[in-house]
Amino acid sequence: MRRQVLGYVLAILAIVAVVAIAAPALFDSASVGREDSARVSPTDAPEPGVALAARPDCPGEEIAGVELGCLGEAESGEGEASADSPAVINLWAWWCAPCREELPLFDELAQRRPDLVVAGVHADEHAGNGAALLEELGVGLASFQDDDNAFAAALELPRVVPITVVVAGGEPAAVYPRTFSTVEELERAVDEALADAPAAG
């Protein structure tokens, strides 16, 4: 009888040990596919609360009808852009790995297409981290700061980043909740959205 009880105890201890070893792996695999799977690793991320780096002025005090502050030390509204000017807005966040890959494309688009207002919207409360990422990437793109996701809420955007919004006549003409691989691909999508947009007036 004692041997049988001892056998049960050993079997239970063995099961507990296996579960303890396997549990972390199970939790890690369950998290794949969630929004945070696209986050940069903590070792690569700037610390929250870092000082703001100087950034270019934003093109006005609002974008697509949403009033936002400017990311960094720039003064919002110092830049000039007509409300009717076609615009390309990239919604991004400092912790988003695909955003890191895509942001330089918008910088290049802004240089190639002076007929467009190209700007970013940093959708995270840690503005210093956003400005630091742009500095690290060497991206000179002007970007608005959105602490509470007002931009995404106003335009009823999906709860993901990155998202590209093409604006024509002050209204969204197209929304792309995806990552672009090349500036040519991005420019083609923008031109198609503008061609399909209703004529202003």
Average pLDDT of the chain to the nearest whole number: 78
DSSP E strands in 11-101: the ranges are 62-63, 66-67, 69-70, 87-92
- Lowest-confidence region among 18-22, 116-120, 145-149, 192-196: 18-22
Output the DSSP codes for 81-114. Answer: --TTS-EEEEEE-TTBHHHHHHHHHHHHHHHH-T
Domain count, the chain: 1
**CA 105 → CA 137, 141, 155, distances in Å?**
11, 10, 23
Over residues 185-189, the mean pLDDT reads 98
Among residues 51, 92, 94, 93, the alpha carbon closest in space to that of 73 is found at: 51
pLDDT one-digit tens code per residue, 45-103? 455 555 666 788 898 888 899 999 999 764 444 544 556 689 999 999 999 999 999 99
In a domain, 95, yes or no: yes
In a domain, 129, yes or no: yes
Burial grade of 45 (CB within 10 A; 0-12, 13-18, 19 or more): middle
Burial grade of 78 (CB within 10 A; 0-12, 13-18, 19 or more): middle
Range of 112's domain?
62-196
Cα-only R_g, the chain:
23
In a domain, 1, yes or no: no
In a domain, 78, yes or no: yes
In a domain, 11, yes or no: no
Q: Which two tokens stand for residue 5?
A: 């009880």
In a domain, 15, yes or no: no
CATH number at residue 110: 3.40.30.10
Task: Give this prediction's pTM.
Answer: 0.73
pLDDT number for residue 198:
82
Amino acid (1-letter code) at residue 85: S
In a domain, 185, yes or no: yes
| % helix, strand, coil for the chain, step of 5 | 40, 15, 45
- Lowest-confidence region among 33-42, 61-70, 144-153, 165-174: 33-42
Distance, CA of 11 to chain centre? 49
In a domain, 119, yes or no: yes
pLDDT number for residue 20:
42
State the pLDDT confidence band at 170, using cuts at 50, 70 and 90.
confident
Q: Which two tokens stand for residue 12?
A: 């239970």
Strand-pair partners of 165: 89, 175
State the pLDDT confidence band at 4, using cuts at 50, 70 and 90.
low
- Lowest-confidence region among 49-53, 127-131, 134-138: 49-53
